[in-house]
Structure 1
């Protein structure tokens, strides 16, 4: 916590969000790899506050479980009945005070849990304005094209000071014409906030405690009420339905891609490229159309991914190429090649210059430097050394119906097409296996393993068993040809 950091941030996350028409609490809906409240907490954390408390209510057990995983240091306060934003903040302050009833000193920032586009930079500007102007409360505002549904900022006509915030349903016709709106985000003097909340009344259309009434209470008491205007009104947009959820996802995705491109990443078609907030890139990475990058995915310098690729929690090394691929929890080494149409499952590790080719699936497999699995193969629970080649249509048979078993193939091995490696089995360094073999025993280094039946030709079988067929006629015609024409 730095000298100018707020004492606490209170995140309002108790609402049901009925317009989402969902069994999932509104604040747990996700965009770009995080829940709505997760984005708010990430922005709040950039302030380095002393404490963060999330006020929960509707399906609070689910929200608390999510917070315990995403942000275990965040405290929670229960608002058992949703009696308004003022009541919610009171619950948060009581949690911060540890049930002592003592006021919280210093600056308290209040944010809404459904504003995923809010940035740490805007919160810092609010906090700095609040401190520099010596305000009792500073409200984050924005000018919006359509203010319907938002609380309006009412200012003094002479000084421009904020005199009140009027909810849309309580506003007069002239007030509804105002386009500057309340974001629901505030910086308060903690002690003054605690005192003012005790004076908030419920004589409004909803019979609720409005946090916005605190501004009028403090102003009437002679305290300064100020405002900090957000540079981009989209930052303060709350999410109330699935349409707004999709709009926010598009806006945030564009923001993330713009930052990546300005940092030296080529995004060929931003309109069809989707990334999570937790994805990272290095310079000169290239992302082709139809690509989704999720979770903790990292794209190395000069690597190319896509088109039509989905990577989750996957690292792609410098200079690697990943084409038409799905990967989850995989590591792709430098200058490695994956796809097209490959599937890398968790635990897959491709070494430098390794290859997982067309229609190859891998799971919990370690592939050494320069090793190639070019096509039509499944490699599961396996370790393959360096500069080996796995023939087409090979299967690592790892499951006996009860347990998974491991296969080891050494370095500089050449295995034939249509091989099956029945685990547990080891193929030694430099060994070969013949095409069509089912390898059930260990193969010593430098050996050739042949595990297939001998070929037997039965002359005249077609003529006897399929007389008159096209095959029989073709065979008869071929038998009449001179040897030089056959």
Structure 2
């Protein structure tokens, strides 16, 4: 059996934020969520998150993860003190315990799987993930013999000049035999410069303890400030984009593109510059997104073009053309082969197949049938100051330029709406509706005004 404990109690003062450090986001997920996600290949039977500063916020963020256990560390007295809080919670547990940092979001699942394999194969009491850093400043140094058995771990602040020349560092990722660790945790003492209980001090009581070097040292990068968060985002983006390009996605100027790793892309998608894909979005095969577009938590069908537009929480079916400067939001649903064009906003509305809303229109709380043509400047006046009301427009209806539909109102099929109409009552099928004041012409008006 394997258990995982995530250290997530600290505030992270260098982040200069009221938000707990582990709740800052990277690629659409919180740092602590990413650490938990990295554990799926080791298949833990128990997952414990050690919380402290703003612990309720951390609980709220992670409430959707089933069977997650929370352990409170009321005083933050070091990593050893944090793991001591597990003693009453793991009294009957006799498996292996992973200890991970909630602010180290770049770990690959395969790295933890390899660490567990080596730990079990060698029957270690403890196995540490280590890395050789070009600049190890700030990291505890790990000293090993020729068999990678750990002889000593010294925190950076406690290293002397000779010890600081060692570039093998402690990544803060551990796999312990829990029964052996539980026996030595009470022996820890705060006899160091910081007056904290260091988890690394258990090395002197456990045997054998082995170091495993990670292939990519960037995986152990922790997040302590906004600059490090930005650097981690660059690393994450490189991983995501390289993976999708290898899977058949074309990216024009990848450096200007950002993609959350929750996004799914199909083959032959083309992502143009300055495009950003967020959340649980799906882009269908052959679609061309951008330049200059934002898509968030939306489903885009196959062979869709989206140009200089924003789409959030919406669905666009295959064969549609969106933009430039279209805004779809609030569960807008655009059916197949539609054209949604220049400076159009659609909110919580459904547009039927082969319909066109080409320019300068707002549709809110509306249902449009198939082959509807919406003239320029058409607006559904859906809000009466208190409630929202629906507008229903039947198949093959055509609205004239600058039409206004004062909801609730229903137009039948094959209706023609004269330009400039303000429609307040329902309209039957195949009717022409003219809802505007009759034009008046006063001849010679200019001269009459001048004479007065």
**What range describes the TM-score normalised by the shorter chain of this pair?**
over 0.9
Q: Which residue of 71, 78, 81 maps to 1:77?
A: 71
Confirm or deny: 8 A CA contact 1:8 1:49 kept in the other structure.
yes
Q: Tell me, in whole angstroms, the C-alpha distance in 2 between the residues paired with 1:439 and 1:125.
A: 68
Instruction: Answer yes or no: is 1:164 the counterpart of 2:148.
Output: no
Confirm or deny: 8 A CA contact 1:54 1:92 kept in the other structure.
no
Q: Tell me, in whole angstroms, the C-alpha distance in 2 between the residues paired with 1:462 and 1:215.
A: 99
Deviations 1:246-282 (A, max 9, x none): 0001110111111111111111111110111211101
SS of the residue corresponding to residue 19 of structure 2 reads: coil
The correspondence of residues 463-482 of structure 1 with structure 2, limited to 5 A, is 463-465=447-449
Unaligned runs of 5+ in 1: 1-5, 468-486
From the CA coordinates, give the structure whose radius of gyration is larger. 1
Runs of 4+ with deviation above 6 angstroms: none
Instruction: Answer yes or no: is 1:232 the counterpart of 2:216.
Output: yes
Instruction: Answer yes or no: is 1:48 the counterpart of 2:36.
Output: no
Q: Give 1:22's aligned residue.
A: 17
Q: Tell me, in whole angstroms, the C-alpha distance in 2 between the residues paired with 1:361 and 1:268.
A: 27
Unaligned runs of 5+ in 2: none
Q: Tell me, in whole angstroms, the C-alpha distance in 2 between the residues paired with 1:252 and 1:191.
A: 36
Structure 2 vs 1, CA of residues 47 and 465 (structure 1 numbering), >3 Å: closer, same or farther?
farther
Q: Give 2:283's aligned residue.
A: 299
SS of the residue corresponding to residue 452 of structure 1 reads: coil
Deviations 1:105-136 (A, max 9, x none): 11111100001111111111111111112111
Confirm or deny: 8 A CA contact 1:343 1:359 kept in the other structure.
yes
Q: Tell me, in whole angstroms, the C-alpha distance in 1 between the residues paired with 2:82 and 2:268.
A: 47
Query: Could you tell me how far 1:94 is from its partner in structure 2?
Result: 2.9
SS of the residue corresponding to residue 45 of structure 1 reads: coil
Q: Give 1:277's aligned residue.
A: 261
Structure 2 vs 1, CA of residues 137 and 329 (structure 1 numbering), >3 Å: closer, same or farther?
same
Q: Give 1:190's aligned residue.
A: 178
Q: Which residue of 356, 376, 396 maps to 2:340?
A: 356
Please report the TM-score for the alignment, with normalisation by the length of structure 1: 0.91
Query: Could you tell me how far 1:415 is from its partner in structure 2?
Result: 1.1
Please report the TM-score for the alignment, with normalisation by the length of structure 2: 0.98
Q: Which residue of 111, 122, 130 maps to 2:111?
A: 122
The correspondence of residues 378-417 of structure 1 with structure 2, limited to 5 A, is 378-417=362-401
The answer to which of 307-316 and 86-95 deviates more is 86-95
Instruction: Answer yes or no: is 1:151 the counterpart of 2:140.
Output: yes
Query: Could you tell me how far 1:327 is from its partner in structure 2?
Result: 1.3
Query: Could you tell me how far 1:209 is from its partner in structure 2?
Result: 1.1
Q: Tell me, in whole angstroms, the C-alpha distance in 2 between the residues paired with 1:323 and 1:126.
A: 46
SS of the residue corresponding to residue 44 of structure 1 reads: coil
Q: Tell me, in whole angstroms, the C-alpha distance in 2 between the residues paired with 1:255 and 1:8.
A: 28
Deviations 1:397-445 (A, max 9, x none): 1000010000100111111111001111111111111111111111111
**Alignment size in residue pairs:** 451
